[in-house]
Structure 1
Amino acid sequence: MSLFRCWRRHILRTALRPGGCLRLVSPLCSAADTIFAVCSGQGRCGVAVLRVSGAAAAVALRAVTGSKQGLPAPRTALLRNIIHPKTRELLDRGLVLWFPGPHSFTGEDVAEFHIHGGPAVINSILHALGSLPGLRPAEAGEFTRRAFHAGKLDLTEIEGLGDLIHAETEAQRRQALRQMTGDLGRLYNDWSQQLKKCLAHVEAFIDFSEGELIEDGILNQVDIAVPQLQMEIEKHLCDERRGERVRSGVQVVIAGSTNAGKSSLYNILCQRPAAIVSPTAGTTRDVVESSLDIGGFPVRLCDTAGLRDTDDFVEQEGVRRARNMVDLADLTLVLVDSTQLPQEPQMVSGFLSEYLKNVLPSAKDHKHCVLILNKSDLLLKEHISIIQNVLTQTSDMVPVSILSCQTREGLEDFLTLIKNTLKTLCGDPLAGSPSLTQTRHRVHLRKCVDSLNLYYQYRDVDLALAAEGLRLGLSSLGRITGKVGAEEILDVIFRDFCIGK
């Protein structure tokens, strides 16, 4: 087969395959447009930043500063008057910066105006920019979209940037910053490079082996590389959703029987009276939820209705919702009224085991559970010590905390236990391999693994179909970062094989 035929076949395969080239161009975005917008958030602030990006950025900078001189030195802040280009009215006085492309966020010429952050000032300068020919307001996310098309950021880095902007806890900040700086993208790109090489070797063997232009054992290298790559991806997938928990928040559900003190504990953790507390059993009828920062980890804390049999229709619905939340929980805090424990210490562990089975019907749920014995202030100190000794000697018991929501005794130990449990559930965002953070990533990685299985299935039957499996796997990886194309496979062929000299 000639080199031209090989090239044509690769191009056609990729062009005709959905997602073969993922550099998509939005109809809303034209490369000829120069766009502008506030890029420092909304609301009153001391300083606001306006960004202009595109071919007319230099013209806009000169027009609103009234400068007939040259542009400022790149990346140097200068204090300038900001004027309306038509009325010549003074609008503000602020800093201007010039970022000539391609050394800018979007890869285009970019001008920035650091102005006072009052709404009237911002609106007046936006109106002034809008009066210039060739400028229009930016669409949502358009600056970042242009950065993507210019190759400044891949999709994982863009997602990390978005997560960093919305980060509310220390763990979220660390994970998002690591992803935005490219750690996750480099991992996926490394896998893509390995898979490209495997695919290029198989394609070259198919196209040129008859002319004995391919070195011996080239397919054996692929047979070794593919399972190793598949094993690495599988390991990455088996992370118990740590990265996704950090990004979205750990779902923590407080559950237990009525009047065990669930709402009291909920209010303590929220540090405000978020839920109604009453001695009347069945006060909580619905799920009450709050977002918290516990030990630097994001938590979505839910208070639920007490679990019991009832004839009240509304309470029945509350119990049903409570059980649904327990099924969805990453961590369940199971509250027990300590005054309901058996008087015989040796019977306590059996009682608690049955209690857990009622709250957590599935045994697998016990893995992410903390048992809380509340109302310890109503027990004798000696009885508490005996209970602690009995539970310590019970090997299969889940972590247990004894506290009093009334007196706050034992609260510090409970919070330490919760923080350690959250750290186990989320891991350290800065340690080891970067975490998988998006469901989208998980879906495409799973498709990649399934596609690699096709290579094994057809390896000894039809090598062209086996290559198709590798190509589908490469496409799935490319969808995560945002780019994969036939020309990249050809680059590997030309680099690794001296075909026809």
Structure 2
Amino acid sequence: MDWVAVARVYEYANAMTDAATIFALSSAPGRAALSVIRISGPAVRDVLEKMVAPIPKPRVAAFRTIRHPETREALDRALLLWFAAPNSETGEDVAEFQGHGSRAAIAAILAALGTMKGCRLAEPGEFARRGFENGKMDLAEIEGLGDLIEAETEAQRRQALAQSAGMLSKLYEGWRTRLIEIAALTEAAIDFSDEADVSASSFMEARKRAEALSAEIGAHLDDGHRGEIVRDGFRVALLGPPNAGKSSLLNALARRDAAIVSAEAGTTRDVIEVRLDLAGLPVVISDTAGIREAGSAVEQEGIRRSLATARDADLVVWLSETGDSKLPEGISRETSLAIRSKADLRRESTADLLAISTVTGEGLDRLVAEIGRRASEAVGTKAEPALTQARHRQSLEVARREIAAFLAGSLESIELRAEDIRRAAHAIGRITGRVDVEDVLDQIFSRFCIGK
């Protein structure tokens, strides 16, 4: 017996049955004008009775003095909100103290809450997890909420807000529902196998629906990673020979001294990144080591990392003083932009080649505009929800493979084909966390009346 697996099952079961009331500072740590302390769980009413009585009506804000539950010392004066279960973010009783943001006031309230029976500090993400366990949010919505908290650009905000509001979940749940219907048709073909016409008709209808769904999933996957680019950033690698001005360009784009600049060639040995907001889109600029025949092992490693960064980038900006556009092996011209650096030192013009100078600022606006244009093209203007997580992509790839296996089969192997569809539905259900084999039974009983 795998005792490690058994221990994990018991650990998970204990976590699911944890009846503790949790509390935490929900606003940013540090001194501020206001703070928000959130409490969730079965002991919320007891906390309110002992610390802020009288308790106001649910969803009605009230001004209260927060007192220590034992000493009755006044800790702060705050706006109190409470939400009775199940009409709350977590599905439990929830209360919020919106008080002053001093470190001392926050520490005093948290310490007082810690003395209450059944109360403890929340684990990271535990409020959202309880919301998921109580059916208030699914996994994709929770991931969107996390992205919304981390959003730095307008595009990230819009995408994360749509995902947290259920835009992706609605799409995936719709696909899962259709797979359940396909599974029901397949099961019907099995149950009516003694009636050849009925069985064949049911299986053909299942195949027709599976083909249409497979095409939709394929189009969703073949989106150029636009959702992931918005979430993680459009990656730009500055590449070129030593002393071409890559670090100076990085500093000019970042408007700060992010990289060391020196007349000595080969100063940059590792990849340095800065994040920018270009027209509302996140862009990650990477300064890399100069490309040349290196002597030392350290410089060779730096060049190796530079080339690896360039191959993974969405755009490679190749800098050289002469306008040389000879790219290293493995770097595509379609995803590259050759520019001539140090234009203030060399005035000759090069046809169809952008010239820049980090000293005078010449060409920098055009370069920024071109990077922004390329980033916008990569993201696109589609209104449909986009894939945002590698986890989602992996699950959808599994679902598409299983549907392909279903379509490649025949009526003679119908039992195996039913398993293909079940696995496909399970894979998509993993994205939102809603996986239930009873859904298939419900479809069979309600649509085909074959409950016995």
Structure 2 length-normalised TM: 0.92
What's the CA shift for 1:464? 0.6
Are the counterparts in 2 of residues 213 and 499 from structure 1 also a CA contact under 8 Å?
A: no
Instruction: Give 1:480's aligned amino acid.
Output: I
| 1:207-226 aligned within 5 A | 207-210=191-194, 217-226=201-210
* Aligned mates of 1:493, 1:317 — CA distance in 2: 60
Q: After TM superposition, which residue ranges in structure 1, 4 or more long, deviate above 4 angstroms?
A: 211-216
Hey, what does 1:466 align to over in structure 2? 417
Match of 2:435 in 1: 484
Specify the SS of the correspondent of 1:334: strand
Question: SS of the counterpart of 1:107?
Answer: coil
Inter-CA distance 26–123: structure 2 relative to 1 (3 Å threshold)? farther
Letter in 1 for 2:362: E
> What per-residue deviation string (whole Å, max 9, x for no partner) do you get for residues 116-139 of structure 1?
111211121122222222222222
- In structure 2, runs of 5+ residues without a counterpart are 6-10
Matches within 5 A, 1:77-226: 77-210=61-194, 217-226=201-210
Residue pair 1:254, 1:335 contacting (<8 A) in 2 also: yes
Q: 1:378 is paired with a residue of what secondary structure?
A: coil
- The 8 Å contact of residues 237 and 287 in structure 2, kept in 1 or not, is answered as yes
Q: Alpha-carbon deviation of 1:92?
A: 0.6
Paired position in structure 2 for 1:407: 360
Return the index of the structure with the highest Cα Rg. Answer: 1
* Alignment deviations for residues 300-339 of structure 1 (CA, whole Å, 9 cap, x no partner): 22111211123344333322222222122221111121xx
Shift of 1:213: 12
Aligned pairs for 1:368-387 within 5 A? 368-380=335-347, 383-384=348-349, 387=350
Shift of 1:432: 2.0
Letter in 2 for 1:432: A
Q: What is the CA–CA distance in structure 2 between the aligned matches of 1:493 and 1:213, rounded to whole Å?
A: 19
How many percent identity over aligned positions? Answer: 44
Give 1:460 deviation, angstroms: 2.9
Structure 1 residue 372 displacement after superposition: 1.3
Paired residue type of 1:443: Q
How has the CA–CA distance of structure 1 residues 500 and 280 changed in structure 2, closer, same or farther, with 3 Å as cutoff? closer
Q: 2: CA distance between counterparts of 1:312 and 1:217?
A: 71
Distance 2:389 2:234 in 1: 14
Contact 1:29/1:142, CA 8 A, preserved across alignment: no
- Assess if the C-alpha contact under 8 Å between 2:190 and 2:199 holds in 1: no
Q: Distance in 2 between matches of 1:492 and 1:249?
A: 42
Partner of 1:317: 301
Question: What is the one-letter code of the residue matched to 2:292?
Answer: R
Q: Residue 55 in 1 paired to residue 45 in 2?
A: no
Match of 1:277 in 2: 261
For residues 16-64 of structure 1, give each alpha carbon's deviation from its aligned partner in whole angstroms, at most 9, with x where no partner exists: xx9xxxxx95533435322222222322221111112122211211211
3-state DSSP class of the match of 1:47?
strand
Q: Which moved further from structure 2: 452-461 or 171-180?
A: 452-461
1-side partners of 2:449 and 2:267: how far apart? 78
In structure 1, C-alpha distance between the alignment counterparts of 2:301 and 2:120, rounded to whole Å: 52
In the alignment, residue 412 of structure 1 is paired with which amino acid? D
Give the letter for the 2:52 counterpart: T
What corresponds to 1:443 in structure 2?
394
Please give the secondary structure, in 1, of the residue aligned with 2:320: strand
- Residue identity opposite 1:316 in structure 2: Q
Counterpart of 2:334 (choices 340, 343, 367) is 367
The answer to whether residue 444 in structure 2 is matched with residue 498 in structure 1 is no
Alpha-carbon shift at residue 142 of structure 1 (Å): 1.2
Q: Structure 2 CA distance, aligned partners of 1:237 and 1:170?
A: 24
Stretch deviating more after TM superposition (89-98 or 204-213): 204-213
Please state how far the C-alpha of 1:220 moved relative to its aligned partner.
Answer: 2.0
* Correspondence 1:331 to 2:321: no
Query: How far does the alpha carbon of each residue in 1:67-91 deviate from its partner, in whole angstroms, 9 at most, with x for none?
Result: 2xxx322211100110011111111
* CA distance in structure 2 between the partners assigned to 1:483 and 1:409 by the alignment: 55
**Equivalent position amino acid for 2:100 in 1:** H
> Over residues 242-266 of structure 1, what are the superposed CA-to-partner deviations in whole Å (9 max), with x where a residue is unaligned?
1112212222110011222111111
The letter for the 2-side match of 1:469 is D
1:232 is paired with a residue of what secondary structure?
helix
Shift in CA distance, 285/483, structure 1 to aligned 2, threshold 3 Å: same
Q: Is the 8 A contact 1:78 1:96 kept in 2?
A: yes
Aligned-partner residue type, residue 411 of structure 1: L
Structure of higher RCO (CA pairs closer than 8 Å, 6+ residues apart): 1
1:35 match: 22
- Secondary structure of residue in 2 paired with 1:366: coil
* Counterpart position of 1:9: none
Asked if the contact 1:214–1:497 (Cα under 8 Å) also holds between the matched residues in 2, the reply is no
Judged with a 3 Å threshold, the aligned counterparts in structure 2 of structure 1 residues 325 and 167 are, in CA distance, closer, same or farther, namely: same
Cα deviation digits, residues 354-408 of structure 1 (max 9, x gap): x12xx3x136x2222111112223344xx42xx33xx3xxxxxxxx422222211
Q: Is the 8 A contact 1:76 1:98 kept in 2?
A: yes
The aligned residue for residue 425 of structure 1 is 378
- Equivalence for 1:255: 239
Paired with 2:419 and 2:451, the residues of 1 have a C-alpha distance of 25
Q: Could you tell me which amino acid in structure 1 is paired with residue 24 of structure 2?
A: A
Report the residue type matching 2:330 in the other structure.
S
Are the aligned partners of 2:139 and 2:431 in contact in 1 as well (CA < 8 Å)?
A: yes
Q: What is the root-mean-square deviation of aligned Cα atoms in Å? A: 2.2
- Do the aligned partners of residues 48 and 213 (structure 1) sit closer, same or farther apart at CA in structure 2, a change above 3 Å counting? farther
SS in 1 for 2:224: coil
